Structure 1
Amino acid sequence: MKHAHGATIRAYSVADRERLAEIWLEASFVGHPFLPEADLLGQQAKVREFYLPQAENWVAELDGEPAGFIGLIDDFIGGLFVDPAAHGHGLGKALVLHAAGLKGDLEVEVYAANDTAVGFYRRLGFAETLRHDEDDEGRPLEVIRMRRAA
């Protein structure tokens, strides 16, 4: 499916795994500078080994190369990551709208400290429904749960 700026969205294939794990890490360094590098490197292994194989993933390509992806668990966005070199091209928005077209209602959790992500989801119609004082790793980092109605 073609989108803005010549991006194509397609289903994930196992051949994408290493590139998507790289995109995950690069985007996480930008979006989550408050997380220690060692934590991110450990989490990248989980992304590669568990999250990518288990989620329903959609890949955004620019010029035939993966530049971002969204991972869905039913109607929950488990992850949305775009290569920092491709930020500002509408890939994140295209991926979220693709997911909304498939699922209807969507939910996501974002770090409160990630102002960019919080603002991004608000602009796409997500509203805060809940806050947690800890992330899913038990770190004392506030997480916001947001929902977008179909």
Structure 2
Amino acid sequence: MSNSYAIQQPTKADYPEITEVWEASVRATHHFLPESDIEYFRPLILNEYLNAVSLHCIRNEEGRILGFLGVADRKIEMLFIHPGSRGRGIGKQLLQFAVEQLGAFRLDVNEQNEQAVGFYGKMGFVVIGRSPVDGMGKPYPLLHMEYAPVG
């Protein structure tokens, strides 16, 4: 039985910490990204992308952000868990919240991020399409997935 955490909406004051969680998560899972791309995306995450989504996060007892979710137009645009907090059910809880509370049934995932592809598959998402490049035109194929629970 996984823990249940309170899901909160962060404020702009939390953006630097959210960006730190994003970077730690990317470094732990996106081994295909060169340092230059992490450096390229960091200010975009902080200054643009977080403003473009409805953000939700889970914090620990000390108030530190363990993971966050960003949804726009009923699509999961971001779901990142701090590597030190993986395996605690945080991603599962945020994903279920996105589906059940926000009606977000679609997402894109980097094809090379095999852990995430497997996680979303286990959570009931199926691949419905593929793009050879990411949203910025970079050569990181995306899998388009949609929630299709069995049963």
TM-score normalised by length of structure 2 = 0.91
Number of residue-to-residue matches in the alignment? 148
Amino acid at match of 1:5: N
The 5 A counterparts of 1:1-150 are 4-5=2-3, 7-63=5-61, 64-149=63-148
RMSD of equivalent CA atoms: 1.6
Distance in 1 of aligned mates of 2:39 and 2:3: 31
User: Contact (CA 8 Å) 1:6, 1:62: kept in 2 or not?
Assistant: no
Which stretch of the first structure deviates more once superposed, 136-145 or 40-49? 136-145
**Counterpart amino acid of residue 136 in structure 1:** G
- Gaps spanning 5+ residues in structure 2: where? none
Change (3 A) 1:105 1:16: closer
Q: AA paired with 1:19?
A: E
- What is the TM-score of this pair, normalised by structure 1? 0.92
Aligned counterparts of 2:2 and 2:29: Cα–Cα separation in 1: 23
Q: CA deviation at 1:53?
A: 1.6
- Runs of 4 or more consecutive aligned structure 1 residues displaced over 2 Å after TM superposition: 3-7
- Please list the CA deviations of residues 20-51 of structure 1 after superposition, one character each: whole Å capped at 9, or x if unmatched: 00000010111211111111122010000011
Q: CA deviation at 1:66?
A: 0.9
List alignment gaps of at least 5 residues for structure 1. none
Maintained 8 Å contact 1:30/1:84: yes
SS at match of 2:70: strand
CA contact (8 A) 1:125 1:148 kept: yes
What is the identity, as a one-letter code, of the residue corresponding to 1:103? Answer: L
